[in-house]
Amino acid sequence: MSLKNNLHKLKEKYNGTKMAPLFNGFHTFLYTPNEITHGGTHIKAADDLKRTMNTVIMALVPCLIFGMFNAGYQHHLALGDIQAANGFFGATFWSWDNLVVGLWKVLPLVIVSYGVGLAIEFLFAVIKGHEIEEGYLVTGMLVPLIVPIDLPLWMLAVAVAFGVVIGKEVFGGTGMNILNPALTIRAFLFFAYPTWMSGDKVWVHGAVERAQEIAGGANVDAISGETVLGSLAQGHEASYSVADMFFGMIPGSVGETSTLLILLGGLFLIFTKIGSWRIMLSSVVGALVMGLIFNGVVDAGWISESSKFYGLMSTEFWHHLLIGGFAFGAVFMATDPVTASQTNKGKWIYGFLIGFISILIRVFNPAYPEGVMLAILLMNVFAPTIDHYVVQGNVKKRMKRLKAKTA
């Protein structure tokens, strides 16, 4: 008897029991089910939700792998063990030592994210008796990529539990949520444990530990792990070259640093028609417009160099695309189809405002110089409103047609 037949028998056995969703979850992971069409179209296209989600994960994998190397690289660089890498293929970056640190620090984040999130999904599926939906496959991969490397695992677990239950399940599960679950998790971390989510000590593995040692009286150098955004917000010059920022050899959340790989992932999503090019493109445009406005303010001399906003305002407008989490947010978070605008016209507006507000918050929020998360969450809330007005345009056209006829 083959595996296929054995699983089929098990499926029959579990059919109708409480455990059916759980078993089907595993079964459909191995085999696309033997379900046939009833009524309606007799044939169906090849795509299903699993394939869609899987495509997004494939686009994220390069960012994950790069994030692992970068975690080790930033750690060793801060300790002074290695020289700065020369370009994207620099030997000191793609080293075994770096990867080991990355695996050691990043894999637990991935495991905790998936473990806790999927456990809750399975639990809800069994309680509510519906099939396990694939939404968390992507969320579970996004979460480890948007948190600082040294985040304690228990905090991540608590945040994931909060995000999945409050952000998604209470609304009815995948497809029904209003806020992006991954960003809900990050926002929870940010407001519950701010000292672990911002500042200049959390972005490089070992920095927090070292700071504690110093406080304890040890005679060692502190590790500075400031992000580019952080130093700009302080009014310092960025200490990284544009190439470093584009390639991603800078401190930051695990997977958000490499604009190059995010760009490749974005192009892959656009090519496969899984991600919305409208949202990606319009959010870039929105960010550039806001950046240009701020540059204009600086050029016009309306702001003095002593202002605390001067550092970020005077940053060249297109650098905003390279630093912080903007690129990652625009490509992977803003495009979540459930929480974004659903109409094509709405997507243009939605994306543009995300870019625009991201840079606005980034410049004017001195405590936490990153605006993408808040901008996307804000626009998630407004997306249904945008759609409403877009759809009303269509409705009005119909009403007008009727009036022209009856008048």
Partner 1 sequence: MSNDITIKKGLNINLVGEAEKTTENAIVSNFYTIRPEDFHGITPKLIAKEGTQVKAGETLFYNKDVEGMKFVSPVSGEVVEVVRGARRRIMAIKIQADKSQTAVDHGAFDVAKADAESIKAHLLASGCWVFIKQRPYDVIANPAKTPKAIFISGYASAPLAADYDYVLQGKEAEMQAAIDALGKLTEGPVHVSVGKHSNSPLAGLNGITLHKVSGPHPSGNVGTQINKIDPVNKGETVWTINPQDLVVIGELLLTGKFNPERVVAMVGSEVKSPRYFKTKIGSEVSTMVYDNGIEKDANARIISGNVLTGKHIKPDGALDYYSNTITVIPEGDDYDLFGWNKPIFNKISTSRALTFSWLNPKKKYDLNTNTNGEHRAFVVTGSYEEVFPLDIYPMQLLKACMYKDLDEMEALGMYEVAPEDFALTEFVCVSKQPHQKIIREGLDIMIKEIG
Q: Give me the residues that bind partner 1 (CB under 8 A), please.
A: 4, 7-8, 28-52, 54-55, 131, 133-135, 172-176, 271-274, 276, 337-338, 340, 342-344, 347, 387, 391, 394-395, 397-399, 401-402, 405-406
Least Å from the CB of residue 406 to partner 1: 8
Q: Where are the alpha helices (DSSP H) in 193-325?
A: 194-197, 207-215, 228-233, 242-247, 259-271, 277-299, 310-313
Residue among 192 and 402 whose Cβ is closer to partner 1: 402
Q: Return the sign of the alpha-carbon dihedral for residues 55, 57, 60, 66.
A: negative
Residue among 25 and 355 whose Cβ is closer to partner 1: 25
Least Å from the CB of residue 49 to partner 1: 5
Question: Do 74 and 203 meet the contact criterion of CB atoms below 8 Å apart?
Answer: yes
Residue among 51 and 308 whose Cβ is closer to partner 1: 51
Residue among 28 and 92 whose Cβ is closer to partner 1: 28
Distance between CA atoms of residues 95 and 102, nearest Å = 11
Q: Any idea what DSSP says for residue 221?
A: P
Question: 357: buried, middle or exposed (CB in 10 Å: 19+, 13-18, 0-12)?
Answer: buried
Residue among 53 and 109 whose Cβ is closer to partner 1: 53
Rg (CA), the chain: 23
Task: Please give the full DSSP string across 231-252, using - where no structure is assigned.
Answer: HHHTTPPP-S-HHHHHHT-S-S
| Other residues' Cβ atoms within 10 Å of the Cβ of residue 12 | 9
Token pair for 264: 């490749």
Least Å from the CB of residue 23 to partner 1: 13
Residue among 113 and 339 whose Cβ is closer to partner 1: 339
Least Å from the CB of residue 139 to partner 1: 12
User: b/e string for 107-141 if b means 16 or more Cβ within 10 A?
Assistant: eebbebbbebbbebbbebbbeeeeebbbbbbbbbb
Least Å from the CB of residue 133 to partner 1: 6
Least Å from the CB of residue 57 to partner 1: 9
Q: Which of 197, 189, 183, 180 is nearest to 157 (CA)?
A: 189
Least Å from the CB of residue 87 to partner 1: 32
Q: Which of 151, 153, 155, 150 is nearest to 78 (CA)?
A: 150
Least Å from the CB of residue 161 to partner 1: 22
Residue among 54 and 224 whose Cβ is closer to partner 1: 54
Residue among 129 and 194 whose Cβ is closer to partner 1: 129
